[in-house]
Chains A and B, each alone.
Chain A
Amino acid sequence: MIRRFGWRASLALVALLTSCGKSRPDSQSGTKPEGASGNSKAEPSAPVEVVTSSGIEMVALPGGEFLMGSDRGNADEAPPHKVRISAFLIDRFEVTHEMFAKAQLPNPSHWQDNPRKPVERVRWRDAKQYCNERSLLEKLKPCYNEKTPDFDCDYASSGYRLPTEAEWEYACRAGTEAPYDFGPADKLRQFAWFADNATDKTHIVGEKKSNRWDVFDLYGNVSEWCEDVYSLTYYKESPPLDPTGPPNPGKDVKRVMRGGSWKASADMCRATLRQGERTGDSDACFFTDYCGFRCVRRATPEELQQLRNKLRRIAP
């Protein structure tokens, strides 16, 4: 169902009901959402907030094109390249302890003092198992095949999965090209829990300001697993449409982790910064206490149309 989210939902509603085409008033020039030309058949040009059947808040993002990477960051962030992303839904918040418990999964987190804190010390495969459990809870088709060593992903399935790093960066940059979507680095304290303000621990999700597309804690609190295999040189060969990362080399595999964390410097919180992390799947106890995640789900054109219709129905 669609939930009323005050001014943000109103903005989305206005965008949908007027032209179905303009980007959000506060978005900048880096993203060209589908429908920006005013095509009435296009997907919504502004994020739409939804609550899933199991009660989890997500944001439906329009498909679009953006400039991924940076030539002013680390070597693995270059070259900047155009990527087109299909519409998808992303969790507004990092997966929390209470969400993990609802899926009946053992919580591996170091800080367990509040159920609204993000889970951490999560192995890559455990994050994927959570995605499958949540899919089953909502009667969706799980994306991950648990009988394969890497829990192979069926991107065509209706269920939840980890974001690709392209999807993650698209959501984080929210239509901007700057290192942070909100502007200068000195405002980072307003948007993220990171080394300068987190006092060496995680915090309840959603306490800081969201990014322009109403997604919280992308820059800090815990870093977030992505689906992709990490490769230093992937941007030189990445396909332009919905990239899903390089093939698994089979040995010494690292997976992409995005976003800053409670122990990251401001520079480590940049939208384009890439990290490669060992998955921990062969460790019984995974002690990397800044590893969390959030889920995404593909949005079909039919679902987007349903969202529009529902939004019209609840409009005053």
Chain B
Amino acid sequence: MPNRNKPSLVTARCNAGRFAVTFPLLTAALYLATGASTQAQAPLKDRLKGSPFRIAYECYVNDNWEIFVMNADGSQPVNLTSTPKEHEHYPQVSPDGTMICFSVDVGEGRDAVRSLYVMDSDGRNRKKLADNAREPFWRPDSKVIGFLPQEYSKFNVIDYYTKGMRFYELATGRNEPHPNSTNLHHLYSPSFAPNGKWIVSTVHAGMGYDHAILAIEANGNKIINLKIPGCRACVSPDGKQLAWGSGDHQVVLAPIDLESETPSVGQWRLRILDKTNETYHVDWSPDSRTVSLSRGPASKGDPSKSGTFQSACEIVGVYAAGWNLCAVSAEREGDVDLNSASEAEFTMLTANGFSNKESAWFLPKRKESGQ
């Protein structure tokens, strides 16, 4: 039970609106005001070229998992980690754009230890948060990081190898469980709704569910089955849409109501298809106009590579040969087939095929002193 004398890490008021408007935000406002939407027929690559947004992602280079950041159009990738003995992946950027939390594997095979870290969005001030933990996610005020403890102490690469949920408060180092933590089992890919009331997460073979995407009350015991097939759901920054992988070869966007006491998902409005490749890890641009996703052939990894494991290649720590990141316009409706999509709808962001996965958009911002 949370200590009643202290404010809960999940009930603390979300302060997203109080962040100082700084230069990047002005740039973003200018970007929007100059009619990004009116240029919808221009190639997506060109539209993204003028974007102030950046994208963090994981990539396997020089026998090592690293976290890179690139411009929204895929240009100027920069390795933020460059740590030959540590494997960084699963970057999640704080909603205010100042920090990145991520997972780090040290060791090989069953002796590996997965830990969680946070650093500034330029790669400085790296700090460990927890061991034997995975899949961090940010509270909307960027002050608290949620994460999923490992199910057992021994390492396993499978994504749903989790039990419970905890919250780490950056300012104090307090680390406390979700009020319903003891009943949360085999969750993966959690993320906060922008209103801070719900956490959307996939569950597999746990909590009485065969497999489901759930809305979990952030500060209570309520759990709502969103009754949509698939996994790895992500709420748009405006809180009005949900994107998720509804199968190995398609990503779906649909309206979601997260203000009600019983969140629900409407009819899908955009379906992104790829019959040739698998498509995973959808993420929204900060203006909710574009989504990025990972894309590549199905495989079960390459165990000869250091720091990698065998399993389905969309899983964190599994090498996905030939996988790249792409962006798709989220402004249209209907179907987009990535093998025949127009340049206005779709563009590749990476091309090296070095297991590029888990993209996370952000509007970069420097931490203010004392933050």
Contact = CB atoms under 8 A, between A and B. Distances in A.
> Do these two chains interact?
yes
Interface of A: 104-110, 112, 121, 125, 133, 146-149, 151, 281-285, 287
B210 A110 contact: yes
A105 B154 CA distance: 8
B161 interface: yes
B312 A283 contact: yes
Contacts of B109: 146
17 contacts: A104-B154, A105-B156, A106-B151, A106-B205, A133-B110, A146-B109, A147-B303, A149-B300, A149-B303, A149-B310, A281-B311, A282-B299, A282-B313, A284-B231, A284-B312, A284-B314, A285-B211
Nearest to A104: B152
A266 B327 CA distance: 52
A146 B310 contact: yes
B315 interface: yes
Dominant SS at the A interface? loop
Contacts of A106: 151, 156, 158, 160-161, 186, 205
Contacts of A121: 205
A269 B211 CA distance: 29
Nearest to B280: A284
A283 B304 CA distance: 20
Most chain B CB within a 10 A radius of its CB, from A105, A106, A110, A147: A106
Contact-size category for B: 20 to 34
Contact of B312 (A105, A109, A148, A282): A282
A253 B205 CA distance: 26
Contact of B315 (A112, A148, A284, A287): A284
A139 B45 CA distance: 57
A298 B156 CA distance: 27
Contacts of B211: 285, 287
A121 B315 CA distance: 18
Contact of A148 (B151, B186, B303): B303
Contacts of B310: 125, 146, 149, 151, 281
A284 B156 contact: no
Nearest to B151: A106
B48 to A, nearest CB: 30
B281 to A, nearest CB: 12
A109 B298 CA distance: 23
Given A104-B152, A110-B210, A282 B300 contact: yes
Query: What 5 pairs across the A-B complex have the smallest Cβ distances?
Result: A104-B152, A284-B312, A104-B154, A282-B300, A106-B161
Interface centre among A125, A146, A285 (most CB of B within 10 A): A285
A285 B313 contact: no
Nearest to A282: B300
B204 A285 contact: yes
A125 B311 CA distance: 9
